[in-house]
Structure 1
Amino acid sequence: MVSDKIEPITLAITSKLKALSKSTQDFTNNILDNLSLSKRRHPIQILKRLQREAFSDIMKLRDRQDKVERLLSFKSSKVSPFQEASTSVRGEVELLGMLLMIDRIHEDNQDAIRRTGIKTGINSRFTFQTTIQEDDSLTAEFVASDKGQLDALSSPLSLAKVLYATNINDRCALTAAPLGAKCNDVGLTGPLVGGPPILNQHIGSGINLTVKRSNVIVSLAQFVSFMGTQIDNSRATHCLSTFGQVACQLSGSTKLLLLGLHKIPKISSDISLGPIALPIGMFRYRKSDVDALDGSFGSTALVLESNLDASTRVGGWIEMNNSGARNLHWGVSISDLPEDDFGWGLRLGGSKNWDHYEVEAFSKIMFGDKFSVHPSLVYVIDGSTQFPALTVKSSWSF
């Protein structure tokens, strides 16, 4: 009887213990779940999760972009190199006038003015430059000159210059000039204030090779130009020109340049071949086919220039030539010509006998980004002739 009464009590206690244990376990699980959820909802954890997801998306987009670029490069490699070329166009219109402070014009005055190199009138220039395959560039220049009249703006444009430049490697460059090259087109000098006359000489059509080595740059060019036809129209005169230049960087801002130009005129009877076709006599059948003239001439110049700051430059040059009585010329200059602000300069030049020299003080006044005025006062002494002159040059670029 006693055992029958104890058994229900034991079952009740056991069931209550099981119920208590289950409720305790559920409570504990609930607390752990809440703690885990609160950790997942923490702002730092959320940012980390978003960062991982964003990085994964970025890597997927990068992979797709690489595939598209490879496809485009494969297609563009089969087209002309001019397909992706970008062309820049630059125009410039110049007006140069001169006020001579002399009582009358005579032959001596005319010779003195001609030797100064000042040419008045209106000139317009349009330059097209195309970049080809990153390392090559093609430049074409069209000009219109007034030729003494004020009608340059209405005169037709003519192709005056064509240049093709390519970089073979980091130390070697090649320049080809099919038309209208000057020495400063293939030379190593920047814009000089009254540089030696050798830089402005036209040397025609040819090729130039430039080699760079540490602080020394060497340039050598060979050109041919058409000088004209004789009176009887049976013989044409060409000129073979060899131009060389060596530039030495003495310091970070000082540069020394040695320039040389040698010209050999040649007469040919085969004028029907055109101005660029020139027989050189390698397989001549008659001695008179190509005759070299005795009038070969040349020039040698030495230039020293230094940049004091970004816009201030001082320089000097001396040039020796065998083409005339005044075979030695010299010049010195100092200038401060910023690109977008007021500028000034002073230039002095002459010949070895001090029978001809010039002093020029000039300035640059900017009106906006595209229009500038360059007034200058020049004093010229040429033998017994001397006179001052006021020149005003305006330039509009676009």
Structure 2
Amino acid sequence: MKRIQRETLSDVRKLKEKHDEIEHILSLYKTGKGLELLDLPIQVKIALDATGALFLVGDDDNGNEFERARADLDKAGRRTGLRSRFVFESKTRGKADTIAAELSTQLGASAGHHIGRPVELTRLQYSARVNRWLSLTLVPFGARCTNFLHSSSMIQNLRAQASLDGPPSTFEHHDCGAGLRIQGSKLTASLAGLILGSGGLDSGGGGGGTTNRVTTFGQVTCRPANDVKLSLSGLWQVHSPSSSSSRLNHVGILAIPRGSLRPEHPAAGGGTEGHTELSVKFDSRAGGAMAVMVDCELYETLKTEGWVQMDRSRSSHGPLRWGFSLSDVPDNELGWGVKVSGGTAGETTTTTTRGRGRSQLQQQQHQHLELEGFLNFNLGKGARLQPALVYATRTKSTATPALFLRSSWVM
């Protein structure tokens, strides 16, 4: 009887301690002092990516041919280097919501110089599941359009993000973004808005950095059959005028001035001490981009994708870019894929007329084309090896063939 009493007393004490902890948490929540997250389970994933290249071009004594080939492939989006990502994810609110953060480090080589960065915070994300068909996603730091393509879990999207291909604007970083996702039995719709600017580090807080922009992204996905998925995505991007960008960057992060959205005009009489109105205006004539992407997925491995993007400037339409890809990448078998992309790009040249001393600006358009074929080897335990042959042309007289070797490991 004494032994049973001692064991019972120990169990009662444990229950009393747990009861006190629950009451303490509820009291903090009711008084508004905050909610403590005790023993919060955190899931961690690490993704390592490495890319090397062998340029199949000759070289001269000065090394100009090699530098030109590397610059052409860099413009085509084929870069070499190392990258590591650390993703921390946790479930909250009865495992209905997800909090995630991404730390990454990158050592790459671009045309003419090397880039090295320590480990830094690149993304914060909070996903809330309102009910079985509606979910909300908030990315207060490091938002991209690709964050709203798949599910709300960053860890589940690691493998899908590595094989993404699409318009360049979908991969551009923004300061923050928010979106909603409506999911039905066969139809899913997503809509997101992203902002870059307002004094962020990437936008150049002193006013001389990147142009402020607002991006609207949407996607509609349909599943007519169990093994078929069709998706249509659209992107609309608007840049602010340079005059508004320089004034907006002095306001602060996520700060919006009160008043009219008209452009700033100098005070009457040319004085600079008069009252001036700080304003921001996002005008479609200021420039931006439009993009459309269509993809079809069969049996979760065979995927076809096509996209087109048109950039716009204040005076006329900018360069047109397009791409197409076809791939079959199963989990436990040999995979393959082909990619074709190209477009037109303009270069502004200055010509001087003899005898008159007049200079004239001329816009020249030239086409570029990139071809790629690759094989995919799954090595097991999250490791993958992908050799590829790339052929890029930037002008009619120059072509750059190269062998690429990409490897990734998710653990």
| TM-score, with structure 1 as normaliser | 0.69
Q: 1:313 aligns with which of 295, 303, 310?
A: 303
> What is the letter of the counterpart of residue 142 of structure 1?
L
User: Is 1:97 matched up with 2:52?
Assistant: yes
Q: Are residues 188 and 127 of structure 1, via their aligned partners in 2, closer, same or farther at CA, if it must alter by over 3 Å?
A: closer
Paired-residue identity, %: 23
Offset from partner CA, 1:298-323 (integer Å, 9 cap, x none): 2221312121x242223323333326
Match of 2:220 in 1: 247
Displacement of 1:147 after TM fit?
A: 4.5
> What is the letter of the counterpart of residue 217 of structure 2?
G
Do the aligned partners of 1:305 and 1:316 also contact (CA within 8 Å) in 2? no
Gaps of 5+ in 2: 1-14, 30-34, 152-159, 262-274, 345-364
Counterpart CA distance in 1 for 2:209 and 2:173 is 18
Counterpart CA distance in 1 for 2:289 and 2:108 is 28
SS of the residue corresponding to residue 169 of structure 1 reads coil
Displacement of 1:236 after TM fit?
A: 6.4
Match of 2:79 in 1: 119
Do the aligned partners of 2:79 and 2:108 also contact (CA within 8 Å) in 1? no
User: Is 1:297 matched up with 2:252?
Assistant: no
Counterpart CA distance in 2 for 1:102 and 1:176 is 46
Q: 2:119 aligns with which of 125, 135, 157?
A: 157
Match of 1:333 in 2: 325
Offset from partner CA, 1:172-207 (integer Å, 9 cap, x none): 211111100111002359555532323212122132
Do the aligned partners of 1:196 and 1:318 also contact (CA within 8 Å) in 2? yes
Gaps of 5+ in 1: 1-67
Counterpart CA distance in 2 for 1:175 and 1:331 is 29
C-alpha RMSD of matched pairs (Å) = 3.5
Do the aligned partners of 1:301 and 1:320 also contact (CA within 8 Å) in 2? no
> What is the letter of the counterpart of residue 329 of structure 2?
L
Counterpart CA distance in 2 for 1:326 and 1:112 is 20
Q: Are residues 327 and 214 of structure 1, via their aligned partners in 2, closer, same or farther at CA, if it must alter by over 3 Å?
A: farther
SS of the residue corresponding to residue 146 of structure 1 reads strand
May I ask how many residue pairs the two structures share in their alignment?
323
Deviates more, 1:237-246 or 1:369-378: 237-246
Match of 2:234 in 1: 259
Match of 2:96 in 1: 135
Counterpart CA distance in 2 for 1:297 and 1:240 is 8
SS of the residue corresponding to residue 53 of structure 2 reads strand
Do the aligned partners of 1:211 and 1:218 also contact (CA within 8 Å) in 2? yes
> What is the letter of the counterpart of residue 337 of structure 1?
V
SS of the residue corresponding to residue 118 of structure 1 reads coil
Match of 2:180 in 1: 209
Displacement of 1:140 after TM fit?
A: 0.4
Do the aligned partners of 1:180 and 1:203 also contact (CA within 8 Å) in 2? yes
Displacement of 1:365 after TM fit?
A: 2.2
Counterpart CA distance in 2 for 1:322 and 1:335 is 31
Q: Are residues 186 and 234 of structure 1, via their aligned partners in 2, closer, same or farther at CA, if it must alter by over 3 Å?
A: closer
Q: Are residues 219 and 225 of structure 1, via their aligned partners in 2, closer, same or farther at CA, if it must alter by over 3 Å?
A: same
Do the aligned partners of 1:188 and 1:245 also contact (CA within 8 Å) in 2? no
User: Is 1:367 matched up with 2:379?
Assistant: yes
| TM-score, with structure 2 as normaliser | 0.67
Displacement of 1:371 after TM fit?
A: 2.9
Displacement of 1:168 after TM fit?
A: 1.3
Counterpart CA distance in 2 for 1:217 and 1:286 is 47
Displacement of 1:94 after TM fit?
A: 1.5
Do the aligned partners of 1:135 and 1:167 also contact (CA within 8 Å) in 2? yes
Aligned pairs for 1:1-398 (under 5 A) are 75=22, 78=26, 80=35, 82-83=37-38, 85-104=40-59, 105-106=64-65, 109=69, 112-133=72-93, 134-148=95-109, 156-188=118-150, 191=161, 194-212=165-183, 215-226=186-197, 227-229=202-204, 233=206, 239-249=212-222, 251-252=224-225, 253-265=228-240, 266-269=244-247, 271=249, 274=252, 276-282=253-259, 286-290=276-280, 295-307=286-298, 309-322=299-312, 327-351=319-343, 355-384=367-396, 385-398=398-411
Higher radius of gyration, 1 or 2:
1
Counterpart CA distance in 1 for 2:178 and 2:214 is 11
> What is the letter of the counterpart of residue 156 of structure 1?
P
> What is the letter of the counterpart of residue 254 of structure 2?
A
SS of the residue corresponding to residue 102 of structure 1 reads coil
Counterpart CA distance in 1 for 2:79 and 2:405 is 12
Do the aligned partners of 2:181 and 2:191 also contact (CA within 8 Å) in 1? yes
Displacement of 1:129 after TM fit?
A: 0.9
Counterpart CA distance in 1 for 2:393 and 2:304 is 24
Displacement of 1:374 after TM fit?
A: 1.5
